[in-house]
Amino acid sequence: MALRVAGVALAVVMVAAGTAVAGNRHGPITFEGTCEMSGLLSQSPPITNLPQPGSASARAGGTCTGTFTGARGQVRELDTAPSRYFAGATGDMSCGGGSAEGSGVLRIAGREIRFAFSEVRGPGVAAVSLEGRAGGSATGAAHVSRDEDPADIAAKCSGEGLRSAHIDLHLATTPAISG
């Protein structure tokens, strides 16, 4: 009986080990390249010239160009592949600057890379840093879109606050991001 129980236990361990090995064959999705996107940054509460705690979310769409490695190791070259960017963060922010941390998703050619997000803001620009959930990173800059009226933004920052602004986002991997 003890031999039979030991045999069943060994079989369970072997099946579990085989499953673990099979799971390891399917690594993370990795991207190496650059992305150009435009979208909307929303603030809650609206930001003013005085720093205050708050949250921000960004949604942008555009394209990414570079090398994409799928979960099973297949490699594809991408040239202006449709892409989406979603991020949410909290921190102390104002129209003059601040910093925030959060998380987000970069969707490239229909596949997702999850990341931790941090930014340091100045007037009209933010230095953005992404850390892939499975490693790697990307950095870049988000600028207030040229389509926005600077006088309107300044009036809102001095008054009721700026709820949202259109942004342009440029990202480059350093050297790749996985998630």
Cis peptide bond upstream of 82, omega within 30: no
Residue 142 in domain: yes
What is the C-alpha R_g of the chain?
A: 22
pLDDT tens, N- to C-terminus, the chain (179 residues): 443 333 433 333 333 333 333 332 457 899 999 999 999 999 999 999 999 999 999 999 999 999 999 988 999 999 999 999 999 999 999 999 999 999 999 999 889 999 999 999 999 999 999 999 999 999 999 999 999 999 999 999 999 999 999 999 999 999 999 99
Residue 174 in domain: yes
Report pTM: 0.82
Quick count: other Cβ atoms within 10 Å of Cβ 147? 9
Residue 107 in domain: yes
Residue 17 in domain: no
Residue 105 in domain: yes
3-state secondary structure of 70: coil
Residue 2 in domain: no
Alpha helices in the chain (DSSP H): 2-25, 150-158
Q: What residues make up the domain containing 96? A: 28-178
The number of domains in the chain is 1
Residue 15 in domain: no
Residue 69 in domain: yes
